[in-house]
Amino acid sequence: MSSDLLVRLPNHLGDACMALPALDLLAARGHSLTLAGRPWAAELFAGYPWPVLCLPRERAARVAALRRRVRSGTRALLLTNSFGSALELRLAGLRSTGYRTDLRSALLAEAVPVPVRWRRADEPMHMVEYYYQLAGALADHAPAVPRDLSLRLPPAAAERARAMLEAAGVGSAFVMLCPVAVGLHRGRVKAWSGFGALCADLVERGMQVAACPGPGEQEAVRAAVPGAIVLPETDLGTFAALLAASRLVLANDSGAAHVAAAVGAPLITLFGVTDARRTGPWSSIAVRLGSAEAWPSFDEVAAAVRAKLERP
């Protein structure tokens, strides 16, 4: 039986990608979804029939937008963990289900206990599983989590990516480097320092190397990989299609890595400050190098790249 459900998406691109199995589960169980989140969410989910409500920056404006678009009393699922996001949905008159975090239980119609596995350090729960288990609270039956993400892209995104590559003179066997990771994690830089040397090595071996900056990243990308063909900034759907067309994607643990995993791209993700067991790409073909304590060496990364490129 169909029911209206507003899903408050996570605030970060990678987390939204990792929520895909949860969203697919809810849709399969007959929920008519409306997504609410950051403006890029409309581009990420353009291949789906789900309406997307792009939330303004100011809290009062967000509450007003929710009231205009969603009927009072509608059920909602909070994939965010914050008190503030629960308060906004409560003020908008929605009946929310979410994890019992950040002292917000009184704001929720259904407060779901945080899974025991989430708190375990020896065998931590992955974010994909965390979101999927929460969605299971609104599903009669939840099968095992799919081993791979599957992001639907509209045909127009692939066509835009093809035209962009053609205009830049990039052929079909290019390597995509994603060298930028915004912000710090516990005071530590989230980007591997060897992208420039790796780019030079690939170019020397005759490979075409491309990079596609996110908003405001043009200068940082050019500085990180000076030998790469730097594509113009584009929308998120076209960026996802570019990753899907790549022979190999190399990225930090960032939104770009999770988009690459979501479209099934051959992927190597580099870790140096985050835990791959919690936030690594949810992909059966991705390679994960490094750890939360140390970045991988250049030789280790170069060897993994060669091994990937030598496979047919």
pLDDT at 81 over 60: yes
Q: Which residue range(s) make up the domain with 76?
A: 3-138
Please tell me whether residues 35 and 133 are part of one structural domain: yes
Query: How many Cα atoms within 13 Å fall on the side-chain side of residue 218?
Result: 5
Last residue of some domain: 106, 138, 170? 138
Q: Can you tell me the distance from the alpha carbon of 151 to that of 191, in angstroms, rounded to the nearest whole number?
A: 25
Residue 147 falls inside a structural domain: no
Please tell me whether residues 164 and 272 are part of one structural domain: yes
Please tell me whether residues 106 and 197 are part of one structural domain: no
| pLDDT tier, 311 (very low <50, low <70, confident <90, very high otherwise) | confident
Q: Can you tell me the distance from the alpha carbon of 308 to that of 312, in angstroms, rounded to the nearest whole number?
A: 9
Q: What is the CATH number of the domain that holds 56?
A: 3.40.50.2000
Number of other residues whose CB lies within 10 A of the CB of residue 35: 23
* Count of the separate structural domains present in the chain: 2
Q: pLDDT per residue over 28-43, tens digit each?
A: 999 999 999 999 999 9
* Inter-residue contact 35 to 70 (CB < 8 Å): no
Q: pLDDT per residue over 150-199, tens digit each?
A: 999 999 999 999 999 999 999 989 999 999 987 666 667 789 999 999 99
Residue 274 falls inside a structural domain: yes
Beta bridge partners, 252, equal 270
Please tell me whether residues 71 and 100 are part of one structural domain: yes
Please tell me whether residues 184 and 295 are part of one structural domain: yes
Please tell me whether residues 303 and 161 are part of one structural domain: yes
Please tell me whether residues 169 and 295 are part of one structural domain: yes
Question: Structure pTM?
Answer: 0.95
pLDDT > 70 in the chain, percent: 97
Q: Can you tell me the distance from the alpha carbon of 198 to that of 135, in angstroms, rounded to the nearest whole number?
A: 41
* Inter-residue contact 123 to 135 (CB < 8 Å): no
Number of other residues whose CB lies within 10 A of the CB of residue 106: 8
Number of other residues whose CB lies within 10 A of the CB of residue 1: 5
Give the pLDDT of residue 2: 53
Please tell me whether residues 96 and 169 are part of one structural domain: no
Nearest to 180 by CA among 148, 153, 212: 212
Question: Can you say how many angstroms the Cα of residue 13 is from the centroid of all Cα atoms in its chain?
Answer: 4
Last residue of some domain: 138, 171, 195? 138
Please tell me whether residues 165 and 130 are part of one structural domain: no
Structure tokens at 91: 């003020």
DSSP class of residue 29? T
Please tell me whether residues 120 and 228 are part of one structural domain: no
Q: Can you tell me the distance from the alpha carbon of 265 to that of 242, in angstroms, rounded to the nearest whole number?
A: 10
Please tell me whether residues 110 and 197 are part of one structural domain: no
Give the mean model confidence (pLDDT) for residues 69-96.
Answer: 96
Q: Can you tell me the distance from the alpha carbon of 147 to that of 104, in angstroms, rounded to the nearest whole number?
A: 32
Q: Can you tell me the distance from the alpha carbon of 83 to that of 62, in angstroms, rounded to the nearest whole number?
A: 15
Q: What residues have CB less than 8 Å from 238, skipping those under 6 apart?
A: 157, 160, 161, 164
Please tell me whether residues 173 and 230 are part of one structural domain: yes
Residue 144 falls inside a structural domain: no
Give the pLDDT of residue 1: 41
